Structure 1
Amino acid sequence: MAQEKKRAGVLPPDGGWGWMIVAGCFVVTVCTRAVTRCISIFFVEFQMHFGRDYSGTAWIHSLVDCSTMFCAPLGSLIGNQLSCRVAVILGGFLASTGLVLSSFATSLEYLYLSLGFLTGLGFALCYTPAIAMVGAYFSERKALAYGIAMSGSGIGTFILAPVVQVLIEYYSWRGALLILGGFVSNLCVCGALLRPITLKEEEACPLPVDTECGYDVKPPAVTSTAEEQPVDGEHQGCRCPQFMREYHFLLMPDFIVLAASFVFLASGCSLPFVYLVPYALDVGVRHHHAAFLMSILGVIDIIGNITFGWLTDRRWLKKYRTLCYMFAVGMEGLCCLFIPLLRTFALLVPFSVVYGYFDGAYVALIPVVTSDVVGTTYLSSALGVVYFLHAIPYLVSPPVGGWLVDTTGTYTATFFLSGFALISSALLLFTVTMIRHCQKMKKDMQTKVPKGTHKYTSTLPKIRT
């Protein structure tokens, strides 16, 4: 591994071993995000076994999500300092151990630690490094590669949701968690596929440095030839900590706006996955049909991953990736506002289809949009920050949703909270984008000079009349 890291820098191959990286990331998303979604199937089992209310039980799912996102920078750090391979193998071991220990739980507090924290920590060490590796191996077909890799979440949900339900029926929730622990151990195998790669732009010092260590906030352009690389002597005066060089993008206005949008997104996106099955059961849908709704959502999620990834890689649409992302998030929010009107299995199926499609669309575009803002070199660190920003909303929103259910006796307020948060995320980005566009047009109009005319400043004194 050390020898592989020292190889001369190369351009993103856009294929070759990159497809094995995509395959590894695909399985990582199956074992992390799909398993996290399927924890909602245990919701009723935990509630009945431990005799707790909605709010207390919802902490399990929220802690898994929160730990996964809160510890994402740790996954980036281990991936950058050691290798993505080490991070994923270590994470797989911790996640598997957490699920196995959870099968022996004697209280919800036990599950908070074993399933909520330990498993979530393992997922964090796997998720961010695997996603960052895809961005390193692909450039021209980046959105498609991410679409395929992230579709593991949908495919995993489609397959695991009914399987987990069957496992619970035959082996109880304890046996189901034990088997899931063995399944998640495959993350260690995925880690072995992540062959390190050094890109050309990573060979140079990331940013130009002055005597006071002032950094330009723009990410470096990707170079295509070795001659275009700055020589080592140009950066001998670089005295700033490595942290400042890797996280300079935190000062970029575009990244700050994107980060704020992600906070709103995280506040609303997890609630439908936590409360769709309990809501379906509450309105009279059979347990098998309620679990099947998650399967439908998962398989349509796959179509959203791949089709949106393919479409946004087209030359005519590539520059509108951010607008596509906004549209997908906004449509998800509208779906959540209508779900209280859907009270039968036949009506909940279209919700699962539409919500699942746009969920897959925006999930595939998160690393793409982030990469467009910060550049490929800093993608791993940026994704660590992006997923870290999901942590607190993921921790708070499911218990808040459960509290709303306990207080109001219905799920309407919970789904309205989700819908308004998602729409706010899209509107924030859209508003800032429109302001930037109007400012650019105004600036272009002011600087435009008609042909045959010359601007000059007269030095003669004005004549008073």
Structure 2
Amino acid sequence: MSSTKATAAALPIDRGWAWFVLIGVHVSFVLSNGYLTALGVFYIEWKDYFQTDATATSWLLSLPLLVASPLSFFVGILSSSVGIRWIAMTGAAVNGLATILGSRTTDIRQLYVCTALSGVGAIMMISPGSIVISHYFKKRFALASGISVVGVSVGQMLFPPLIRVLVTMYGWRGAMFVIGALQMNGVAACALFRPLKTSVEEDKPQGERSGNSSPMLSSGNEDCEEEAENSSTETQPAKSRRCSGYLKVFTNLPAMLNLLSCCFYATAAIVNITHLPARSKEAGWSDDQSAMLLLVYAVFSVVTRLSNGWFVDRGYVGPIQLQLGAIAGATLATFLNPVSDSYAYLVVNAILTGSCIGMSAPLYIVNMRLMVGASELPAALSLIWGVVFFFNASGTVIAGKIFDLTGNYVAPFLTAGAIFLICFLLLVTVAVVKRRRDKDRRRLERAV
């Protein structure tokens, strides 16, 4: 027992190498999903060059997310069997090569293939990144999740101006080639993912381990041990237990309700991001003022993604309670968006919306970790990214259809508000179910 504790104490949990891993995950998010969210800057360039209509060109923006979504679950399985680091490094190479090859395409169908490969590479980086963060961080997991996910927002802010400069200097082909070369640095970032794995105690949700009711206050060192690079050294029972965990997650009611809530969250959030500038232009404001709204949204989204983990990790507020407050704020802000066309009002609305939506994204990961056991966690985190990718892609289409039917942006925002409300009600159900299960568990422990 003392030897086990000494080994656990020597692991870099919440300290040392863990922060280098976090830097690698953050950079991988910037270069993968952060780039994919900025592809709209190429939209006009591609449309003019290939002489295609808006629908055909729009597929170039949605295809990476739609392709990545169904692959996410299998990437989680491969990460545990082949190795987190190797899957992530391969994904980074695919991500960069896809962009470089896209710069050489002469037909839009070839570009479809390249953008789809970008989605494949992105999910091969993002899912392993979330999994390795859950291994290295225990007490500071919420903070680490926020720092990793904020990489998407950093990419949203960095890539659009960079792409515009590169297109002006080298054309869209040269811009894609340079960005692809930049993305190849993701291989080095993912090489930092030295793997750890949870030990056997721990096929329980984090909040139920070692008698500690608050997973955010436990050190978690006892849950981790060094993992060999070659998974073939694992015993057959360990492999069997791990594989069964991927299917077991589908029987976990709180986890599935949390995942369903995430589906609605991703749909409603993308409506705000996509149509905020267009809503401003409809109100009569200039292109520059409309773009500034999106920048305000992104800045406050970054701030809340970074700061919410600090409050959760210190136990000032529970992650589920904070998530409920954030979704309630997003619901209110989205419903109230069409109330006024005043630019000052739209700025304040963008601040509130960006703060609440930005806060919610990493909390879905934190809450999922509270609801599943160690063997279920890779599948659960992969499923979260799968639904985020799919419903981000489909949400833009839904909002566009609503606009086409109504001719204004009031209906899309009201629809997004209603979707956020459903998301909130599902989270309330999650909180009730989890509290009831925790009470039953404590009752059984007292009986024993």
User: What is the count of residue pairs matched by the alignment?
Assistant: 418
Q: What 5-or-longer segments of structure 1 have no aligned partner? A: 1-7, 208-215, 227-234, 446-465
**Distance 1:440-1:135 versus aligned 2 partners, 3 A rule:** closer
Deviation string, structure 1 residues 325-360 (Cα, Å, up to 9, x no partner): 122123223323333345465444333322222222
Measure the CA separation in 2 of the matches of 1:345 and 1:110: 42
**SS of equivalent to 1:247:** helix
Distance 1:376 1:285 in 2: 51
Say which is worse superposed, 99-108 or 190-199, in terms of deviation.
99-108
Q: Deviations over 1:274-326 (max 9, x none)?
A: 33344445555444444443333222222111111111112242xx2112112
TM-score of the superposition, structure 1-length normalised? Answer: 0.78
Report which stretch shifted further, 118-127 or 147-156: 147-156
Distance verdict in 2 for CA 1:433–1:129, change over 3 Å: same
Read off the aligned partner of 1:124 and give its amino acid letter: I
2:419 corresponds, among 421, 431, 437, to 421
Residue deviations 1:187-223 (CA, integer Å, cap 9, x gap): 1111111111234x25x7x76xxxxxxxx99998368
Of residues 347-356 and 308-317 in structure 1, the stretch that sits farther from structure 2 once superposed is 347-356
The alpha-carbon distance between structure 1 residues 329 and 376, as it changes in their structure 2 partners (threshold 3 A), is farther
Other-structure match for 1:187: 186
Whole-angstrom CA distance in 2 between matches of 1:155 and 1:368: 21
Contact 2:206 2:373 in 1 (8 A): no
Instruction: State whether residues 217 and 249 of structure 1, in contact with CA within 8 Å, keep that contact through their aligned partners in structure 2.
Output: no
Q: 2:296·2:351 contact (CA, 8 Å) conserved in 1?
A: yes
Q: Could you say which residue in structure 2 is the equivalent of 1:303?
A: 303
SS at match of 2:67: helix
Cα distance change, pair 237–68 in 1 and its aligned pair in 2 (3 A): closer
Q: Match for residue 381 of structure 1?
A: 379
Contact 1:147 1:309 in 2 (8 A): yes
The equivalent residue for 2:217 is none
Counterpart Cα distance in 2 of 1:429 and 1:71: 26
TM-score (normalised: structure 2): 0.81
CA distance, structure 2, for counterparts of residue 48 and residue 405 of structure 1: 24
Question: Whose Rg is larger?
Answer: 1
- CA deviation profile, 1:237-283 (whole Å, cap 9, x unmatched): 89967532343122112112112212212222222333334444555
1:122 is the counterpart of 2:110: no
Which residue is 1:406 aligned to? 404
* Counterpart Cα distance in 2 of 1:238 and 1:148: 32
Following the alignment from structure 2 to structure 1, what is the Cα–Cα distance between the partners of residues 154 and 205? Answer: 39
The 1-side partners of 2:90 and 2:339 are apart by 45
Q: Please tell me the residue identity of whatever aligns with 1:331.
A: G
Specify which of 324, 335, 343 is matched with residue 326 of structure 1.
324
Say whether the 8 Å CA contact 1:73–1:385 is kept in structure 2: yes
Q: In the aligned structure 1, how far is the partner of 2:370 from the partner of 2:398? A: 34
Q: Indicate if the aligned counterparts of 1:91 and 1:125 stay in contact, CA closer than 8 A.
A: yes
Q: Is the 8 A contact 1:75 1:128 kept in 2?
A: yes
- Structure 1 pair 383/219, CA: closer, same or farther in 2 (3 Å)? same
Counterpart CA distance in 2 for 1:436 and 1:127 is: 27
* 1:399-452, Cα deviation, whole Å (9 max, x unpaired): 22222233333233333332222221111111453476589999999xxxxxxx
Task: Say whether the 8 Å CA contact 2:89–2:191 is kept in structure 1.
Answer: yes
Secondary structure of the structure 2 residue equivalent to 1:198: strand
1:42 corresponds to which letter in structure 2?
F
Q: Which runs of 5+ in 2 are unaligned?
A: 1-6, 211-219, 224-234, 444-448
Taking a change above 3 Å as real, the CA distance of residues 127 and 424 of structure 1, as seen in their structure-2 partners, is same
Q: How far apart, CA to CA, are the structure 2 residues paired with 1:194 and 1:443?
A: 35
CA contact 1:70–1:387 (8 Å) conserved in 2: no
Query: Does the alignment pair 1:18 with 2:18?
Result: yes
Q: Which residue of 2 aligns with 1:148?
A: 147
* CA-atom RMSD in angstroms: 3.6
| Contact 1:263–1:389, Cα closer than 8 Å, also in 2 | yes
Residue 209 of structure 2 corresponds to residue 221 of structure 1: yes
Aligned to 1:369: 367
The alpha-carbon deviation at position 107 of structure 1 amounts to 5.7
Contact persistence 1:154–1:300 (CA under 8 A): no
Contact between 1:217 and 1:251, CA under 8 Å: does it hold in 2?
no
Identity within the alignment, %: 22
Matched with 1:91 is 91
Between 335-344 and 96-105, report the one with greater CA deviation.
335-344
Please say which of residues 376-385 and 333-342 is displaced more in the overlay: 333-342
